[in-house]
Amino acid sequence: MTSRYQEMHTRSLQDPEGFWGELAEDIHWEKRWDKVLDASNAPSYRWFTGGQLNTCYNALDRHVEAGHGERPALIYDSPVTGTIQTFTYAELRDQVARFAGALAKLGVTKGERVIIYMPMVPQAVIAMLACARLGAVHSVVFGGFAPHELATRIDDATPKVVVSASCGIETSRVVHYKPMLDSAIEQAKHKPEHCIILQRPQERAALKPGGDLDWDEAMASAGPAACVPVAATDPLYILYTSGTTSQPKGIVRDNGGHAVALKFTMHALYDMKPGEVFWAASDVGWVVGHSYIVYGPLLHGCTTLLYEGKPVGTPDAGAFWRVISQHKVATLFTAPTAFRAIKREDSGGELMKKYDLSSLRALFLAGERSDPDTLKWAESHLKVPVVDHWWQTETGWCISGNPLGLERFPIKYGSATKPMPGWDVRCVAPSGDEVKPGQIGSIVCKLPLPPGTLPTLWNAQERFVRTYLMDHQGYYQTSDAGYIDEDGYVFIMSRTDDIINVAGHRLSTGAMEEVLASHPDVAECAVIGVSDELKGQVPLGFLVLKASVQREEQAIVDEVVKKVREEIGPVAAFKQALIVPRLPKTRSGKILRGTMQKIADNQEFKTPATIEDASTLEDLDTVLTDHGFAKARKH
């Protein structure tokens, strides 16, 4: 007998137009689509061409008009400020409509870009939805990024307006946003016409006359704006992801496919019902925050939770349990890093016993591979299903997971379970041929990708094709390596490029190397990701100094660490660099980063046949051992 999951997955691949066309009926359309799947410009496929809708209307107005205006839409819980605030669907709609009016007064119209550089406050969500209401394109930049990174995004997106705040709060430390914003605008070639600044009680920023506006004053002088219908294929947002610091990579998300896919996942994957509380313990600056703090839960009529705090330290390792108990959270979605931190502080789970966690039905982990020890620890203490699921900024939603709303599969530790409906996942060798079950290869997805995934990169269609579609014709290259077992379970093992995963945040080692190489005393450098019990991976730099350098080595190390922090931001967690005499390379000059990583992680490694000089590995091993890294085993 065919299971519900198998039936849906098979149909989604054999009849994608019929499958997604039926699911699209769950969304309100101003104009019905002409074609569900448009393959006229393959391999760049588009979904629901000819259709018109408004994402904000589907997320807010629709529920109010259906009589659910008094249902809680957004709960803001901020232990760092001692604030808890609840917005009903009607209240949130009214706030969003008014801020949309404020943006419209500044000339923001359909297709204009707005950069949002804010902490985890309700106004960040309001700003995102207000852009969607106008048909404007928002680009949220994580508040932890340094001015240089923000400047590159300003130049790429060319926003008419930037929305920001006077400060953010990291545990008990005030982070000064306005000076960073001012510095970014000074560095950028493109100059936004206006900045709207939310003045927080913890710090009031000095506003520049003419260009800067106070959030409260802008709201007070604005009238509500109506929803503007846009094409299903029009962009909803740009979200920048890993790339070099000089060449940002803007993932584009459309309106139509995005709404259909996220609405589907809320019940099929997360098993949520309208009115229940969903908590994605992420940040609105990341794709998880876009998909599952803001859009997914609201499209489904759930209550979404916005948390300004940490898993530990605000005030202790029981912070998550307090939030779940107090707000009756049904499903929690977070990164394994958060649970590693909680486990480190409260390994016996004693703080859980202080709270009523009976509302919690499931825990979902993503952003990095969930190590079995952490997953088992969560299972044993929470007594609910713990789901490791795999997706990317580019995809916008889950590629492979355990679809609790369709069928609950047995857990295989280390696996992200099975491909979701819409996803045709394969494992291939460099030749492009599929490998046997259990054999490691490159994980790819057969085109067309399902709705909600990236249709292109912002102003970079050629780069989109080159980056994602060229390696294996007819497939999307995930840049992840792993295998698929005989039961169809997907195991993601590592990246196939130079992206490392720090606490669930994908960061480019190439971008960090760019910064290191700019130091005047550095001749050559490399950055690798090494295993870290808490963050999954952390970057480790290697520096080869110029022969003429006579300075103290530690001073140079301190300078490059500071430089990475300034140019990429604290989120990079770059804290250590080692001075080495030479870098191991192939005869063609390629740095052997993979081998270096195995040595640093104390893993067995084989000396590559193409190495230029095998003694460079011994030198590297000696330096690593001198700095507390155990000697690796060579075979």
Q: How confident is the model at residue 609 (pLDDT cuts 50, 70, 90)?
A: low
Q: To the nearest whole percent, how much of the chain has pLDDT over 90?
A: 69
Evaluate whether residue 204 is within a structural domain: yes
Tens digits of per-residue pLDDT, 230-289? Answer: 999 999 999 998 654 457 899 999 999 999 999 999 999 999 999 999 999 999 999 999
pLDDT at 1: 65
Evaluate whether residue 347 is within a structural domain: no
Neighbour count for residue 224 (Cβ, 10 Å): 15
Evaluate whether residue 278 is within a structural domain: yes
CA dihedral in degrees (428, 431, 433, 435; nearest 10)? -50
C-beta separation of 90 from 317 below 8 A: no
pLDDT at 406: 97
Residues 15 and 80 in one domain: yes
Q: How confident is the model at residue 165 (pLDDT cuts 50, 70, 90)?
A: very high
Closest by CA to 294, choosing from 506, 116, 108, is 116
Q: What is the 8-class DSSP label of residue 65?
A: I
Number of domains the chain contains = 2
CA 566 vs CA 145, 152, 559: distances in Å:
9, 14, 10
* Burial class of residue 25 (count of CB atoms within 10 Å of its CB; 0-12, 13-18, 19+): exposed
At residue 17, φ and ψ (nearest 5 deg) are -70, -45
At residue 632, φ and ψ (nearest 5 deg) are -80, 160
Give the whole-angstrom CA distance, residue 306 versus residue 284. Answer: 9
- Mean pLDDT along residues 344-352: 89
Token pair for 339: 């649970």
pLDDT at 585: 79
Give the whole-angstrom CA distance, residue 602 versus residue 436. Answer: 29
Evaluate whether residue 244 is within a structural domain: yes
Range of the domain at 609: 499-626
Residues 94 and 36 in one domain: yes
Token pair for 570: 């604290």
Q: How confident is the model at residue 494 (pLDDT cuts 50, 70, 90)?
A: low
Query: When comparing pLDDT for 194 and 550, which is higher?
Result: 194
Indicate the residue among 414, 443, 475 that finishes a domain: 475
Buried b (16+ CB within 10 A) or exposed e, 472-485: beebbbbbbbbbbe
Residues 584 and 461 in one domain: no
Indicate the residue among 420, 442, 475 that finishes a domain: 475
Query: When comparing pLDDT for 617 and 105, which is higher?
Result: 105
Q: How confident is the model at residue 603 (pLDDT cuts 50, 70, 90)?
A: confident
Residues 402 and 513 in one domain: no
Which CATH number characterizes residue 584's domain?
A: 3.30.300.30
Residues 579 and 620 in one domain: yes
Give the whole-angstrom CA distance, residue 99 versus residue 118. Answer: 15
Residues 545 and 432 in one domain: no
The dihedral sign for the CA sequence 566, 147, 293, 359: positive
The dihedral sign for the CA sequence 392, 395, 400, 401: positive
Residues 6+ apart with CB under 8 A from 353: none
- Mean pLDDT along residues 162-174: 92
Q: Which amino acid is at 65?
A: E
User: Is beta strand 522-532 parallel, antiparallel or unpaired with respect to 536-545?
Assistant: antiparallel
pLDDT at 523: 78
Give the whole-angstrom CA distance, residue 248 versus residue 153. Answer: 7
Q: Is the pLDDT of residue 562 over 60?
A: yes
Q: How confident is the model at residue 364 (pLDDT cuts 50, 70, 90)?
A: very high
Which CATH number characterizes residue 396's domain?
A: 3.40.50.12780
Q: What is the 8-class DSSP label of residue 605?
A: B
Evaluate whether residue 233 is within a structural domain: yes
Closest by CA to 378, choosing from 414, 330, 342, is 342
Residues 463 and 556 in one domain: no
Indicate the residue among 475, 508, 539 that finishes a domain: 475
Residues 469 and 513 in one domain: no
Residues 145 and 270 in one domain: yes
Evaluate whether residue 354 is within a structural domain: no
Evaluate whether residue 134 is within a structural domain: yes
pLDDT at 246: 57
Query: At how many degrees (to 10) do helices 256-268 and 16-23 cross?
Result: 80
Residues 404 and 535 in one domain: no
Give the whole-angstrom CA distance, residue 343 versus residue 345. Answer: 5
Evaluate whether residue 322 is within a structural domain: no
Token pair for 277: 């509380």
Tens digits of per-residue pLDDT, 381-413? Answer: 999 999 999 999 999 999 999 999 999 999 999
Residues 6+ apart with CB under 8 A from 201: 81
How many whole angstroms from its chain centre is CA 143? 14
Residues 164 and 302 in one domain: yes
Give the whole-angstrom CA distance, residue 579 versus residue 571. Answer: 23
pLDDT at 488: 97
Give the whole-angstrom CA distance, residue 348 versus residue 340. Answer: 13
Residues 6+ apart with CB under 8 A from 169: 80, 81, 119, 175, 202, 308
Buried b (16+ CB within 10 A) or exposed e, 172-193: eeebebbebbbebbeebeeebe
Tens digits of per-residue pLDDT, 431-479? Answer: 899 999 998 888 999 999 999 999 999 999 999 999 999 989 999 999 8
Residues 124 and 188 in one domain: yes
